[in-house]
Amino acid sequence: DVKVTQSSRYLVKRTGEKVFLECVQDMDHENMFWYRQDPGLGLRLIYFSYDVKMKEKGDIPEGYSVSREKKERFSLILESASTNQTSMYLCASSFRGLAKKDEQFFGPGTRLTVL
């Protein structure tokens, strides 16, 4: 069974704080993703990584950065948290091959509140 874990289920931070969200997958997937989920907007891609030390901007990268130093781990960083970054953050991973190439496996999510 594929397992994607996220470091925290709930997090409360203050405006201006630096925030780290960690994600680990155990299936040797090449691709890893960070999304945020907001009501009515679905899942929006923040950043994507297809290999160690590689990253690609998604649809809403502003205010975020990422780090992928090891294949199994993908970190999302909020350099200076703001109230409009209050959201549910979801990490996902997938194979890069052709078979079921687009099926992504998600972690349970981190509910971040910025006060």
Interacting residues toward other proteins by CB under 8 A: 4, 9, 31, 33, 35, 40-45, 48, 50, 58, 90, 92, 94, 96, 100-109
Nearest to other proteins of 85, 93 (CB atom): 93
- State the pairing for strand pair 110-114/10-13: parallel
Amino acid at 94: S
Cβ at position 8, least distance to other proteins in Å: 13
Cβ at position 35, least distance to other proteins in Å: 8
The residue count for the chain: 115
Please choose, from the candidates 76, 78, 18, the residue with its C-alpha nearest in 3D space to the C-alpha of residue 49.
76
CA distances from residue 63 to 3, 57, 66, 86, 114 in whole angstroms, order as listed:
28, 12, 11, 12, 13
Cβ at position 27, least distance to other proteins in Å: 14
Nearest to other proteins of 17, 58 (CB atom): 58
3-state secondary structure of 31: strand
Q: In what helix (H) or strand (E) does residue 78 lie, and over which residues does it extend?
A: strand 73-78
Nearest to other proteins of 17, 30 (CB atom): 30
Nearest to other proteins of 38, 79 (CB atom): 38
Cβ at position 16, least distance to other proteins in Å: 28
